[in-house]
Amino acid sequence: MRRTLGIIIIVCNAWWSVAVAQPASPLRSMELYSNHCTACHTSQAHIRENRKATSLTAVETWIRRWASELRLDWGDEEVKAVLQYLNAHYYKY
């Protein structure tokens, strides 16, 4: 019985630390972006006059496209983190 309780506590702790780890910190989103995305295009791509992404949804679509192109296996958490980062720094939609 004690053992079971111990296991339950461990599982809850693990769940809690995952739950509170979200959303990703600004530092992590910057890391995600600079690790995987700046190899090709610099931030210039996002501030050019004829930018392709003309809405927040469009930026998200681009991020998903690139993440899958690069087979990064990003989930919603990573996509949203990078979206937040790009929008805060460049797009400002």
Binding mask 68-87 for ligand HEC (x = CB under 6 A): --x-----------x-----
- Per CB under 6 A, does 67 bind ligand HEC? yes
Tell me whether residue 13 or residue 55 sits nearer to ligand HEC (CB atom): 55
Q: How far apart are CA 44 and CA 90, in angstroms?
A: 9
Residues between 10 and 49 that touch ligand HEC (CB under 6 A): 36-37, 39-41, 45-46
Q: Can you list the pairs that 68-77 forms with residues at least 24 positions away whose Cβ atoms lie under 8 Å? A: 70/36, 72/36, 74/32, 77/22, 77/23, 77/24
- Per CB under 6 A, does 62 bind ligand HEC? yes
- Per CB under 6 A, does 88 bind ligand HEC? no
8 Å CB contact between 32 and 81: yes
